[in-house]
Amino acid sequence: MRALRILFRHRVTRWRRDPSWGTGTVAGQIVLLALLLFLLFPLGVFGYVVGDVLRELYPEANALRLINGGMLYLVPALMASRFLLQSPLSERVAPYVSLPISPIGLLYGQAALSLLSLHTLFTVVLIGPVWAAEVITAWSSLGATAWLAIALLVTVVLPSHGATLLHLLLGRRPWGFVDALAGIALIFVADATLGPDLFRGLSRVVFGRPSVGLVAAVGVVGGMHAALLRVMWTRLEVDRRTVTQIGGPSRRAASVYRWIEQTLPAGALVALELRQVVRTRRLRGATATILGLMVFFYGWAGVQLVMTGTVETNVLMNVVLWGIGGPFFAIGYTVYGISSGHIDGLFAGPTSLSYIVFSKFMLLWAGLIPATLLLPMLLPWVPLRYAAFLVGCTLYWWGVMVPSTVYFGPRFRTPVDLSASHFSMNPSGSMRGLVLLPPLLVLIASPILADATGDWWIVGGSLCAVGVIGLGVAVWWPEPFAWQLNRHRHEMLKAFREKEPI
């Protein structure tokens, strides 16, 4: 309890001192709380009336039975939302290892505090009205209490522990992370191929029979808790030694870095910053997730082509936004923050600013290479006008979005900590990122405009022309980008020293 009390007090203190909480003003905090209530109210109302909605849609079926059959489907959805949007504090054990508290108490406290999040609040607001409207009126008080306990264990504790475990596996054992995702995918494949009632039937058993379900829920959550504590203990041992036991690069990785240094312009600096991206668990996790989204949207477009012979506009928009430029979102806004650890030496030494700028170009262009290589696999199967449009969007990413990010990058002044172990899809929180919104909106609106007017060739050709011009400017005339860096470098260095790294 002492460890939990210390950790909880630290959590509250950090929350109160967070400058981004309501932008540091009471009025901003009130607005955020009002927005939170605005989001929670319809969710609670939906939970309360979901039984009535199901009775209207399926008058012959039992509404509670339908609800019980769908409860387990919440687990992967809630786990994915926590993994993508929640920074798991249960990994951050390094600041506490020197305190006179029990190590096992520290781990238990961190695992418990990971439940305190907005994700838990949203889940309780959804589950509570369902329980009050449907379960407590249909079952005895003992059975309703058991149902609520099962629901909280399955939708709150299990997703929280599962997401934290995935974060830890991604940071320490990437192949274990891949195996976990493959296991989850196999469960859904089995559910789709062996019968539509497989997963649904299991959900009905767990929630429809409280005595059996409570034992099963406690067993599964207990196993997940034990696995989480074991992985967290390994992480604690690493933090005790105050060094990160990641190991050096493999022979293949070393050869790749050596090729980059010897071949590419500004290759030495590109290789250095690429190593930093690979070593930073936050950036590595974001890049892996975005690459998965890229493959998903390309695959979605391919499946739609096979099934219908065409691609819908919304699917094409996802390919343009996430399929082509997905990896860009993982490191784009941190393109200068990656260099926060050695940027003083670069500015103080004889390194030219154009050399630094060009290394940023090479790093961001490298993020577009996987999607550019996948694009020829899709082009032969789409109509020629769509192929021209996708080529134009690709060149727009290379010649407009990347130079825009490098030009405005010195305004994104959040340093990147190479030892950071948390992962979140949230950006740095700087409002300066809005300067990149206009060119991004052009890209988002282009498929809508082309579909509305039918001028796929004109829109694609315009994007292609702008992209080629921007690419030429970036390659042959990097001086404006160097001037912009020189103009903002003092403010950037000051912010790197003052801001908390991500």
The per-residue pLDDT for range 345-403, each reduced to its tens digit, is: 888 777 788 888 888 888 888 888 878 887 887 777 777 888 888 899 899 999 998 89
* Residue that wins the pLDDT comparison between 278 and 29: 278
Residue 314 has pLDDT above 80, yes or no: no
The pLDDT assigned to 294 comes to 77
Give the pLDDT band of residue 429 (cuts 50, 70, 90): very low
Of 137-141, 327-331, 367-371, 481-485, minimum mean pLDDT range = 327-331
Over the stretch 213-243, which tens digit does the pLDDT of each residue have?
889 999 999 998 888 888 877 766 655 554 3
Of 157-166, 221-230, 249-258, 404-413, minimum mean pLDDT range = 249-258
The pLDDT assigned to 465 comes to 93
- Distance from C-alpha of 230 to C-alpha of 236, rounded to nearest angstrom: 10
Burial of 71 (0-12, 13-18, 19+ CB in 10 A): buried
Q: What value does the mean pLDDT of the chain take?
A: 78
369 token code pair: 């290479």
CB 287 within 8 A of CB 331: yes
Residue 170 has pLDDT above 80, yes or no: no
Q: Find the helix or strand (DSSP H, E) in which 33 lies.
A: helix 26-57
- pTM > 0.75: no
The pLDDT assigned to 483 comes to 92
Give the pLDDT band of residue 469 (cuts 50, 70, 90): very high
Residue 153 has pLDDT above 60, yes or no: yes
Over the stretch 52-95, which tens digit does the pLDDT of each residue have?
888 888 888 888 888 888 888 888 888 888 887 776 554 456 56
The pLDDT assigned to 252 comes to 66
The pLDDT assigned to 211 comes to 84
The pLDDT assigned to 194 comes to 66
The pLDDT assigned to 152 comes to 92
Neighbour count for residue 392 (Cβ, 10 Å): 26
User: How much of the chain, in percent, has pLDDT values that exceed 90?
Assistant: 8
Residue 28 has pLDDT above 70, yes or no: no
Find where tokens 């096992």 sit.
104
**Average pLDDT, stretch 440-445?**
83
- Distance from C-alpha of 56 to C-alpha of 439, rounded to nearest angstrom: 46
Q: Find the helix or strand (DSSP H, E) in which 175 lies.
A: helix 174-194
The pLDDT assigned to 422 comes to 43
HSE (CB half, 13 Å, CA atoms) of 39? 10
The pLDDT assigned to 464 comes to 92
